[in-house]
Amino acid sequence: MTTMTYSSSDRMRRGVSTLMTTLTFLCTLLAVGALLVILFYIAYRGIGSLNFQFLIDRPRPVGEGGGIGNAIVGSLVLLLISSVVGLPLGICVGIYLSEIGRGRIGGAVRFIVDTLTGIPSIVTGVFVYAILVLPMKHFSAMAGGVALALIMIPIVARTTEEMLKLVPHSMREGALALGAPQWRVILGVVVPAAAPGIATGAMLAIARISGETAPLLFTAFGSRFFPESLNEPIASLTVQIYNYAISPYDEWHAQAWAATLVLMTLVLGINIIVRFLTRKKF
Amino acid sequence: MSAVAQNRKLKFAGNNSTWRRVLSPTGNTGDAIFRVLMLFVALLMVGIVVAMVFALATDSMLSIRQFGFGFLTSQRWDPIKGEFGALPFVYGTIASSLIALLISVPFSLGIAIFLVEQAPHYIARPVAFLVELLAAIPSVVYGLWGIFVLAPVLRQYVEPALAKTLGWLPLFSGSITGIGLLTGGIILAIMVTPIISAVVRDVLAAVPGSQREAALALGATKWEMIRVVLVNGAPGIAGAVILGLGRAIGETMAVTMVIGNRPQISWSLFDPSYTIASAIANEFTEATGDLYLSSLVELGLILFLVTFFVNGVARVLVWNVTRKSGGVGRAA
Amino acid sequence: MPVEIAAPKIEVRASTPPPETSGKAKVAVRDLDFFYGRVQALHNISVEIPERIVMAFIGPSGCGKSTFLRTLNRMNDVIPATRVGGQVLIDDHDIYAPGTDVVELRRRVGMVFQKSNPFPKSIFDNVAYGLRINRVTSSNSELAGRVEQALKDAALWNEVKDRLKTSALSLSGGQQQRLCIARALAIRPEVLLMDEPASALDPIATSKIEELIFDLKKQYTIVIVTHNMQQAARVSDTTAFFLLGKLIEVNSTEKMFTAPNEKLTEDYITGRFG
């Protein structure tokens, strides 16, 4: 009988196994490293130009400083418009998919929502250009908000549907057995039970939207002034970063990094808060 | 029957109007209204997609009539002369996406395998979160980083090294600027890795533990066991890769900032290129003339149809594999 | 007045006398303790398993039989936070000694699980899997020969010989379980561990598996865990009774089911608890 010590197994198999498991570890290390490198670089490049004046001033010609105040306000306005339009619609679609849609119609709607999720955001921008900007003959904050809402709706619908599906059936049946009509069960029992999950889904969608650039390029377009009405072009952080980045001026490049730092703080902040809220407590 | 009993009987019978019965199985008015409202919203979604296809098709009619099928095969993109052909953009899109997948898929698989099969639970969860954060970084930020960090590194170190060792290949010939197809491909690779690895993670986690135990009990090493898990998850992994492809095809800002935006087809990876999405982003607001605009919209239509098809295939593959474990949890 | 319910008579199949052994046990367990985290699942187990017999472990559910079985091929290693005390000696080698090649151990101590778990490959590839990873042979014909032999040993050959390349998942539950047995047998383990191999099967498939076990013991040492006492009586030569993580009694099957030594054993056999 041979003994069962290391030498008796096929050394090469063991070596291959160790090699591959080391490689997978390195891949993960590389990914995490890439993330940290990018984040730290943003902080490093952006912190220099970041000051209070920068945050409240509007853009000025090269050499005169200026800031991203109007872009921050513009982004907030666009987020507001898109949330007001997109969140209710998205949640309703989510409710439909989870609670009501059955059979062929439900399947078709789910397919449509999946399709919407996969549409590149630039195509959405082209679409909104065609139906809003062309008829109105000018760019507008409304158009930008609508474009962002169209991107937001399928995301919110998906997460809402998932959260609602997690609510145990026993809860629904308990309410029904007490004689509540279905709409009361959904609105009064199921949705409140899933509310925290729906809220975090909404927050993640907002974080996603705040980083979108392409659909704004020809809907909201951009502006060098603080917004005065929803019917005219409006600035946004992302478009401003883009414009500064591709410009030939070093001063604007520096401002692009600072603006990126502001944007990343918002986006990362939301993601980390959501993660904190959804951590498993047991 | 007494009046009380009759009353009770009527109450149970509910409202028997045909409309109410059709609209709501419970026969309750509030339910009927609610269901109609929800159905309306849902059909609104259908309407939006239909409107999208319709608007894109209508506004590209001019270009379609002018160039017909030749649009897809013509290399000429000349706004001055009014000749438009999509081939450079199709090439750029396919090439950059392929490069992205070639780089990203091995890394994504490695990450997913490590997180599911090797890392202990208390490490896997925070690390998975960090990898997913890569997906939260906006495209324009990747573009900014690409212009000022990646491109110089490629120009100064990587591309010269490639040219020196493999320069005899047409792939690595050409002038080195740091901006071009390779840069675009690398940026795309970083952007799709979190998506592919997240879906593959779901797929691998859905493989039953009994498969792993069966392999181990036969004397398999850890890697051999992992291979069994990969075989089990193969359709889902394929779906994840195709999902990543769909994402890469539609990616706009980061690509347009580092790929050079020149409509040319060239063998060299160092040369600038152009994708469909970046062409639209770059030229839309400068488009003079209806034909120019219509050609750009036609590009948008092509992009829409391609991503629609690719994502459809991906979802079929992934949905089939993960539906036992509760469905895909990613709004990709 | 309490009613005495007559215990069902348990048929013991006359066991074939064990072949001449040198007196050394194939598997010797000494003072084995096992912990899931802080919970102790096995208490001070000591038992010797001779060569080429069938030993059955019986006992009520949750009493540690499966846990014990899995310590014999170190399958519990895949569960985090487990701890082992004592020794498990296979051919006088402590398998928990540092430096033990677990991969080699598992090749020589095979396992069949409660629920069949064939790989999503063809029937042939399933049986050949162990042979391929262990590089048993580089010749295709020899590989095919080993696969055929394993399928014959598992009494499955006649049913699948014409469709070896079809998916293993197209087989019935009983056939899949026999396929898993063939897969385990193909690499010619010295000990075969079976964790309730027929519990998920219908009576006809079960009896086929039991016939199989009875035949296999001519070549292999078999340890089988079962909650079905009648099954233990039918197939095994020796039986061990587990209760709450402790080994209460080990005895020849005949004696165990007719005149056990311990009172607890007798109570369990006659159905007074469990």
DSSP C224-237: EE-S-HHHHHHH-S
Q: How confident is the model at residue A30 (pLDDT cuts 50, 70, 90)?
A: very high
CA-based R_g, chain A, Å: 25
Q: How far apart are alpha carbons A216 and A209 in whole angstroms?
A: 11
B170 has pLDDT over 50: yes
Task: Report helix, strand or coil for C62.
Answer: coil
ipTM: 0.90
CA distance B178 to chain A (A): 15
pLDDT of residue B11: 43
pLDDT of residue A172: 83
Are A133 and A139 spatial neighbours (Cβ–Cβ below 8 Å)?
A: yes
Interchain CB contact of A211 with B (< 8 Å): yes
Are B285 and A221 spatial neighbours (Cβ–Cβ below 8 Å)?
A: yes
| Range from B21-35, B48-62, B68-82 carrying the lowest mean pLDDT | B21-35
Task: Report helix, strand or coil for B21.
Answer: helix
pLDDT of residue C1: 52
Interface contact A31-B197, CB threshold 8 A: yes
C16 has pLDDT over 80: no
Interface contact A4-C133, CB threshold 8 A: no
Q: How confident is the model at residue C238 (pLDDT cuts 50, 70, 90)?
A: very high
Which residue's entry shows tokens 């004696």?
C255
pLDDT tens-place string over residues B146-158: 999 999 999 999 8
Q: What percent of chain C has pLDDT over 90?
A: 43
Instruction: Mark out chain C residues that contact chain B at CB-CB < 8 A.
Output: 73, 75, 78, 80, 103-108, 110-111, 113, 115, 117-121, 129-130, 133-134, 180, 183-184, 187
Which two structure tokens, joined as six digits, stand for B240?
A: 């994840």
CA triple B96-B150-B168, angle to 5 deg? 60
Mean pLDDT over C21-46 rounds to 86
Q: What percent of chain B has pLDDT over 90?
A: 55
Q: Is residue A113 part of a domain?
A: yes
Mean pLDDT over C24-52 rounds to 90
Closest CB to A27 among B28, B114, B285: B114
Q: How far apart are alpha carbons A154 and A121 in whole angstroms?
A: 12
Residues of C in contact with A4 (CB under 8 A): 90, 93, 95, 100-101, 104-105, 108
**E strand residue ranges, chain C:** 27-36, 39-49, 54-58, 82-90, 93-94, 109-112, 191-195, 221-225, 238-243, 246-252
| Interfacial A residues in 8-27 facing C (CB < 8 Å) | 8-10, 13-14
Q: Residue type for C223, please?
A: V
Q: How far apart are alpha carbons A31 and B242 in whole angstroms?
A: 20
Q: Is residue A276 part of a domain?
A: no
- Chains in touch with A (3+ beta-carbon pairs under 8 Å) read B, C
Q: Where are the domains of chain B?
A: 16-61, 89-325
Task: Report helix, strand or coil for B96.
Answer: helix
Q: How far apart are alpha carbons B215 and B210 in whole angstroms?
A: 9
Q: Is residue A155 part of a domain?
A: yes
Q: Residue type for C102, please?
A: V
Q: Is residue A24 part of a domain?
A: no
Residue of C nearest to A2 (CA): C91
Mean pLDDT over C66-83 rounds to 89
Contacts of A250 (CB under 8 A, 6+ apart): none
CB pairs under 8 A between A and B: 251
User: Taking the CA of residue A2 as centre, how many other CA atoms within 13 Å lie in the half-sphere pointing to its CB?
Assistant: 13
Q: How confident is the model at residue B24 (pLDDT cuts 50, 70, 90)?
A: low
Q: How far is CA A224 from CA A76, A241, A245, C91, in A?
A: 16, 13, 16, 84
Q: How far apart are alpha carbons B172 and B233 in whole angstroms?
A: 36
pLDDT of residue B328: 38
Q: How confident is the model at residue B190 (pLDDT cuts 50, 70, 90)?
A: very high
Which residue's entry shows tokens 């959501």?
A274
CATH number of B89-325: 1.10.3720.10
B84 has pLDDT over 70: yes
Structural domain range at position A100: 70-237
Q: How confident is the model at residue B240 (pLDDT cuts 50, 70, 90)?
A: very high
Q: What percent of chain A has pLDDT over 70?
A: 96
pLDDT of residue B9: 45
| Range from A249-263, C5-19, C47-61 carrying the lowest mean pLDDT | C5-19
CA triple B140-B141-B143, angle to 5 deg? 60
Q: How far apart are alpha carbons B216 and A55 in whole angstroms?
A: 59
Q: Which of C93, C59, C56, C50 is nearest to C74 (CA)?
A: C93
pLDDT tens-place string over residues C100-132: 888 888 888 999 988 888 998 899 999 999 888
B198 has pLDDT over 90: yes
Interchain CB contact of C74 with A (< 8 Å): no
**Number of residues written out for chain C:** 274
Domains, chain C, in order of start with CATH, read 27-269 (3.40.50.300)
CA distance A1 to chain C (A): 8
Which two structure tokens, joined as six digits, stand for C66?
A: 């499966």
CA distance C158 to chain A (A): 34
The CATH number covering residue A197 comes to: 1.10.3720.10
The H-assigned helical ranges of chain B are 3-13, 18-23, 29-67, 70-73, 87-113, 121-136, 139-145, 151-153, 159-166, 181-205, 209-217, 222-232, 234-250, 253-258, 276-283, 290-322
Q: How far apart are alpha carbons A161 and B329 in whole angstroms?
A: 10
Q: How far is CA C161 from CA C44, C125, C130, C144, C149, in A?
A: 47, 13, 19, 11, 11
Closest CB to A126 among B43, B111, B280: B280
Residues of A in contact with C105 (CB under 8 A): 4
B21 has pLDDT over 70: no
A127 has pLDDT over 60: yes
Closest CB to A109 among B31, B35, B46: B46
Count of beta carbons in the 10 Å neighbourhood of residue C167: 15
Residue of A nearest to C109 (CA): A4
Q: Is residue A219 part of a domain?
A: yes
Mean pLDDT over A57-68 rounds to 83
Interface contact C99-A5, CB threshold 8 A: yes
Our count of domains for chain A comes to: 1
Q: Residue type for C184, please?
A: A
Task: Report helix, strand or coil for A138.
Answer: coil
Residues of B in contact with A17 (CB under 8 A): 221-224
Q: How confident is the model at residue B331 (pLDDT cuts 50, 70, 90)?
A: very low
Count of beta carbons in the 10 Å neighbourhood of residue A63: 8
Q: How far apart are alpha carbons A267 and C254 in whole angstroms?
A: 73
Interchain CB contact of B216 with C (< 8 Å): yes
C56 has pLDDT over 80: yes
C4 has pLDDT over 90: no
Count of beta carbons in the 10 Å neighbourhood of residue C101: 20
Residue of A nearest to C108 (CA): A4
Residue of A nearest to B300 (CA): A123
Interchain CB contact of B221 with C (< 8 Å): yes
pLDDT of residue A77: 94
pLDDT greater at residue A147 or residue B319: A147
pLDDT tens-place string over residues C167-225: 999 999 889 999 999 999 998 898 999 999 888 888 888 888 888 888 888 888 999 99
Closest CB to B280 among A23, A122, A264: A122
Secondary structure letter of residue C120 according to DSSP: S
Closest CB to B193 among A31, A95, A260: A31
Give the strand pairing for B77-78 and B83-84: antiparallel
Which two structure tokens, joined as six digits, stand for A176?
A: 């029904």
Question: pTM of the full predicted structure?
Answer: 0.84
Mean pLDDT over A146-156 rounds to 95
CA triple B208-B210-B213, angle to 5 deg? 130
* Four-residue CA torsion sign, A135, A214, A47, B147: negative
Which residue's entry shows tokens 């269901």?
B35
Task: Report helix, strand or coil for B77.
Answer: strand
Mean pLDDT over B276-299 rounds to 89
| Range from A229-233, B35-39, C12-16 carrying the lowest mean pLDDT | C12-16
Which residue's entry shows tokens 């986006």?
A267
Q: Is residue A249 part of a domain?
A: no
**Burial degree of A59 (CB within 10 A; 0-12, 13-18, 19+):** buried
Strand-pair partners of C79: none
Are C82 and C34 spatial neighbours (Cβ–Cβ below 8 Å)?
A: yes
Residues of C in contact with B210 (CB under 8 A): 113, 115, 117
Mean pLDDT over C82-92 rounds to 91
Residue of B nearest to C127 (CA): B218
pLDDT of residue B326: 38
- Chains in touch with C (3+ beta-carbon pairs under 8 Å) read A, B
**CA C248 to centroid of chain Cα atoms:** 19
User: Which stretch of DSSP H or E encloses residue C219?
Assistant: none
A102 has pLDDT over 80: no
Q: How confident is the model at residue A178 (pLDDT cuts 50, 70, 90)?
A: confident
- Say what angle helices A191-210 and A250-277 make with each other, to 10 degrees: 170
Q: Is residue A88 part of a domain?
A: yes
B256-268 as b/e: b if 16+ CB within 10 A: bbbbbbebeebeb
Interface contact B257-A213, CB threshold 8 A: no
Q: Which of A171, A162, A154, A155 is nearest to A197 (CA)?
A: A162
The H-assigned helical ranges of C42-122 are 65-71, 102-108
What values do phi and psi take at B207, rounded to 5? -70, 130
Are A159 and B331 spatial neighbours (Cβ–Cβ below 8 Å)?
A: yes
B325 has pLDDT over 80: no
pLDDT greater at residue A58 or residue A281: A58
A41 has pLDDT over 50: yes
Q: Is residue A256 part of a domain?
A: no
Are C238 and C250 spatial neighbours (Cβ–Cβ below 8 Å)?
A: yes
Secondary structure letter of residue B168 according to DSSP: T
Strand-pair partners of A5: C100
pLDDT greater at residue A9 or residue B250: B250
